[in-house]
Chains A and B, each alone.
Chain A
Amino acid sequence: MSLGSVPLKYKISIDRDQCMKCMRCVDNCSYGVYRIEDDKILIDSRKCTACHRCISMCPRDAINLQEKPVDYRSHPLWTAEAREDVINQARTGKIILAGMGNARDYPIIFDRLVLDACQVTNPSIDPLREPMELRTYIGKKPAKLEFTKNNGDVELKTKLAPNLKLDTPIMIGHMSYGAISLNAQLSLAKAVAKTGTFMGTGEGGMHESIYPYQNHTIVQIASGRFGVDINYLERGAAIEIKVGQGAKPGIGGHLPGEKVCSDVSCTRMIPLGSDAISPAPHHDIYSIEDLAQLVRSLKEATNWEKPVFVKIAAVHNVAAIAAGIARSDADAVVVDGFKGGTGAAPKVFRDNVGIPIEAAIAAVDEKLNEQGIRNKVSLIASGGIRNSADITKSIALGADAVYIGTASLIALGCRVCGNCYRGLCPWGIATQKQELVDRIDPEIGSENVANLINAWTLEISELMGAAGLNSIESLRGNRERLRGYMLDQGLLDVLKIESVGA
């Protein structure tokens, strides 16, 4: 092999004085880093993905993992990554796949936004003593109230379109059964039921064991139409048409055949072991009219009882696209930013296509507001939301609610190792290997995810209270409560916020 191999990424070592040879590392590593020979644990660091499973399972804290320092000649343009990608592609002639979100060092806009707090003249509100309202309704809202007045009495004429009622503005985004394991999905489903919110099923259909939580699910329809039939549509509390995804705008989904076990094949309604490919275009949507038609057919099929969402990736003209969607009878637009996670994406897409969610949400909210149709649809932000501050800022920029993805997986153990596409997830998340899947106990998993949602909900209440707000309606689109720190004027204009000190 003329090119040789690229250097290893991580170096694992075991403190032999500490090690008690319990062999848990050997059992836990699904990538085969550890093996036993003559009663000795041997290490193949090259296979390590830094998933941290061994470290967190070692009873003696005997394992040490280090990122290997670059041993190329240092060069500002030809980074180690750039060189290694060339080497790997020269060798294989293939597209480089990657898992999880954008791994480039782009500035994080969220971290350059600061929130407001009350001082003297405007008392902050203590959420422990005063009611704090985070309840959020997702769906169409009328532009104005219609009523009839008969001698002083006001009789309501307006009938609300179906809305989802959320106890917190945090939902869990779409991760399909197939991309993630059943136990992972079950954990998420139990968690959203506990916390009064919703999760997306992803495009993989709905497995029977999710049925008890179906009132908390949003069923997704991607171009592949996997698992879609009338029962599926009727089970969801809402329906989502996936047009694009933040991690890979402009391309479709691909679940490799190895992950299509019998259960996945049943749920998706595809043959066992076959690749599940949902191409980028829906072959019945080539224009906004087509999309509008699909939205209406889905509503018609479900008796106009369910909100229909449309999910798009954040791209340059996202605001105009969202405005079109808002006029299509859709009840919510989901905008997925370019830091969104994924099971597998071509690395070149994941790292280079799309725009950050902060700018996308602000632009969409602004455009819809300008056109006087902001109330017609709800706006859901997703893609790279890491904590309660990101959520609060997203809402202040105009979102009604957010979808979290990666964060909910981290709550299940994920260490963002980025190897989901290999199907060997040692945490039992992005895998269909039963012995790995069994590592998640849905009861405990759901507890952790619910804890996360509850903790963030508390933090959002505190942030709102500090800003003197006791209802989330007053946070939504409230740019006054945000300032930009070290952002350029162009971006401040897009975000429609002022600079710190202003």
Chain B
Amino acid sequence: MCGIIGVIDRTMSRMDGSSIKEALSLMDERGSGEGAGYVAYGIYPDYADCYAIHVFFDNLLEPKTEVDCILQKWGRIVHQEEIPTYEQPGLKKEHIPWRYFFKPYTDLMVGTTNPDDDNVKHLVMTVNSTVEGALIFSSGINLGVFKASGWPEDVANFYRIEDYKGYIWLAHNRYPTNTSGWWGGAHPFNLLDWSVVHNGEITSYGTNRRYVESNGYDCTMSTDTEVVAYLFDLLGRRHGLPSETVVTALAPPFWDVIDEMPEKKEEFLRTLRLTYGPALMNGPFAIVVATKDGIVGFTDRIKLRPLVVGENGSRLYISSEEAAIRTMDPEVETIYMPRAGEPVIGRVTE
């Protein structure tokens, strides 16, 4: 189960969160009231060059003091505040959502090609694996994840999602099966610029997890989706693969298909598959991943979960259900279903 929906406006014109809330609520049948969430890109123009670090605190004493300390060691806190929330009858506030606008000290990370990102990645891992009572669930520039345990509309109202305006939105309605419904386990999962919503289960989780862990990521959220964000960060950011190549590594064509390809392509895909075998994902899934300049949606290699694409002018929609897309945009023009493993990409046109 689980319902996912994503939208990008390729011209980067910003949409508020009201229509995606409505679309996600339409898929209530795909959830169980145990988790929903939203992510939007471009929502913090006032702090456009800061990392927006969203944290769930259990209380504002010890965990927050510790996090403040870690952040101040690795950079400068430009501004911080509690994320405004509005009490909802159907939603129990279990954590205090907090946000920091943060600028890392670049010179603290040496020998890497993206010191700022590596710095922030490092502190996300450190906080999440060592500070009890604190969880960083969003750490990108000019973007933010808003999630909680509850129904989509309650979560949206809790954060007043319609007050935010972004050029990319992803949303997720959760029906947890593997792990309990807790705030950290709700989607989207995020690391730096990467945000992931996922419908399905990853049966290769053990292999994928072991692979990202050997590359310096700590899996702390006890759910399979977490690895997708890390795989994208590893392959996309650190190894520099283009998004479609990352998708191909994660859901590659079958060998029979690869064997039949022209020599150069065959060699490319064989090399890719051999190199990134441990990143290959198995099991039923439909995934949408966003980064600051685009979104990509794809399913597992035999398409065990639904995925529908809609287009209208500069807008591209990807969702579990056509109805959700039509709710968001009744004028949507093209609707189609991508083939298994085939990436659907929407890029901003600058």
One of A78-86, A130-138, A270-278 contacting the partner: A130-138
* With known contacts A122-B284, A144-B275, A481–B203 Cβ distance under 8 A: yes
CB pair B282 A145 closer than 8 Å: no
Residues on B lying within 8 angstroms of A by beta carbon are 1, 177, 200-201, 203-207, 209-211, 213-215, 239, 241-242, 245, 254-256, 267-268, 270-278, 280-284, 301-302, 304
CB pair A477 B304 closer than 8 Å: no
Can you name the residue of chain A whose Cβ is closest to the Cβ of B268?
Answer: A156
Q: Mark A350-375, 1 if CB is under 8 A from B, else 0.
A: 00000000000000000001111011
Bound-state Cα–Cα, A334 to B207, Å: 21
Can you name the residue of chain B whose Cβ is closest to the Cβ of A167?
Answer: B255
Selected A-B contacts with CB under 8 Å, 15 pairs: A121-B1, A122-B283, A142-B275, A144-B239, A145-B239, A145-B271, A145-B272, A145-B275, A156-B267, A467-B203, A471-B282, A473-B280, A474-B207, A476-B277, A477-B210
Bound-state Cα–Cα, A123 to B304, Å: 8
CB pair A372 B204 closer than 8 Å: no
List the A side residues contacting B284 at CB < 8 Å.
Answer: 122-123, 468
Q: Residue A370 contacts which of B177, B214, B270, B276 (CB distance < 8 angstroms)?
A: B214
Q: In the complex, what's the smallest C-beta–C-beta distance from B44 to chain A, in angstroms?
A: 30
List the B side residues contacting A160 at CB < 8 Å.
Answer: 270-271, 274
* With known contacts A130-B302, A372-B214, A481-B206, A474–B239 Cβ distance under 8 A: no
CB pair B302 A158 closer than 8 Å: no
Nearest 10 CB-CB pairs, A to B? A480-B206, A474-B204, A478-B206, A473-B277, A468-B203, A474-B282, A122-B201, A478-B207, A369-B214, A121-B177
Q: In the complex, what's the smallest C-beta–C-beta distance from A152 to chain B, in angstroms?
A: 8
Can you name the residue of chain A whose Cβ is closest to the Cβ of B249?
Answer: A145
* With known contacts A479-B210, A481-B206, A468–B278 Cβ distance under 8 A: no
Can you name the residue of chain A whose Cβ is closest to the Cβ of B2?
Answer: A121
Interface size for A (C-beta < 8 A) is 44
Name 13 extra pairs, CB < 8 A, besides A144-B239, A145-B275: A122-B203, A130-B302, A144-B275, A154-B245, A156-B267, A369-B210, A369-B213, A375-B278, A467-B203, A469-B282, A473-B277, A477-B210, A478-B206
List the A side residues contacting B204 at CB < 8 Å.
Answer: 469, 473-474, 478
List the A side residues contacting B210 at CB < 8 Å.
Answer: 369, 477-479
Q: In the complex, what's the smallest C-beta–C-beta distance from A185 to chain B, in angstroms?
A: 30
A412 interfacial by beta-carbon distance below 8 Å = no
Bound-state Cα–Cα, A480 to B280, Å: 15
CB pair B282 A158 closer than 8 Å: no
List the B side residues contacting A469 at CB < 8 Å.
Answer: 203-204, 282-283
CB pair B276 A145 closer than 8 Å: yes
A475 interfacial by beta-carbon distance below 8 Å = yes
List the B side residues contacting A137 at CB < 8 Å.
Answer: 274
* With known contacts A154-B245, A374-B214, A468–B283 Cβ distance under 8 A: yes
List the A side residues contacting B278 at CB < 8 Å.
Answer: 374-375, 473, 476-477
Bound-state Cα–Cα, A143 to B302, Å: 27
Can you name the residue of chain B whose Cβ is closest to the Cβ of A481?
Answer: B206
List the B side residues contacting A133 at CB < 8 Å.
Answer: 254-255
Can you name the residue of chain A whose Cβ is closest to the Cβ of B175?
Answer: A121
List the B side residues contacting A265 at CB < 8 Å.
Answer: none
Bound-state Cα–Cα, A481 to B273, Å: 22
CB pair B271 A468 closer than 8 Å: no
CB pair B275 A141 closer than 8 Å: yes
Q: Residue A141 contacts which of B256, B277, B302 (CB distance < 8 angstroms)?
A: B277
CB pair B275 A470 closer than 8 Å: no
Bound-state Cα–Cα, A149 to B244, Å: 13
CB pair A163 B282 closer than 8 Å: no
List the A side residues contacting B267 at CB < 8 Å.
Answer: 156
Can you name the residue of chain A whose Cβ is closest to the Cβ of B238?
Answer: A144
Q: Mark A111-145, 1 if CB is under 8 A from B, else 0.
A: 00000001011110100001101010100011111
Q: In the complex, what's the smallest C-beta–C-beta distance from B280 to chain A, in angstroms?
A: 5
CB pair B274 A141 closer than 8 Å: yes
* With known contacts A118-B203, A156-B271, A369-B214, A474–B242 Cβ distance under 8 A: no
Q: In the complex, what's the smallest C-beta–C-beta distance from A422 to chain B, in angstroms?
A: 45
Interface residues of A in 450-502 (CB under 8 A from B): 467-471, 473-481
Q: Residue A470 contacts which of B241, B245, B271, B302 (CB distance < 8 angstroms)?
A: B302
Bound-state Cα–Cα, A125 to B283, Å: 9
Can you name the residue of chain A whose Cβ is closest to the Cβ of B224?
Answer: A480
List the B side residues contacting A144 at CB < 8 Å.
Answer: 239, 275
List the B side residues contacting A130 at CB < 8 Å.
Answer: 302
Q: In the complex, what's the smallest C-beta–C-beta distance from B297 to chain A, in angstroms?
A: 20
Q: In the complex, what's the smallest C-beta–C-beta distance from B296 to chain A, in angstroms?
A: 15
List the B side residues contacting A143 at CB < 8 Å.
Answer: 275
List the B side residues contacting A145 at CB < 8 Å.
Answer: 239, 241, 271-272, 275-276
List the A side residues contacting B275 at CB < 8 Å.
Answer: 141-145, 158, 375
List the B side residues contacting A467 at CB < 8 Å.
Answer: 203
Can you name the residue of chain A whose Cβ is closest to the Cβ of B242?
Answer: A154
Q: Mark A210-251, 1 if CB is under 8 A from B, else 0.
A: 000000000000000000000000000000000000000000
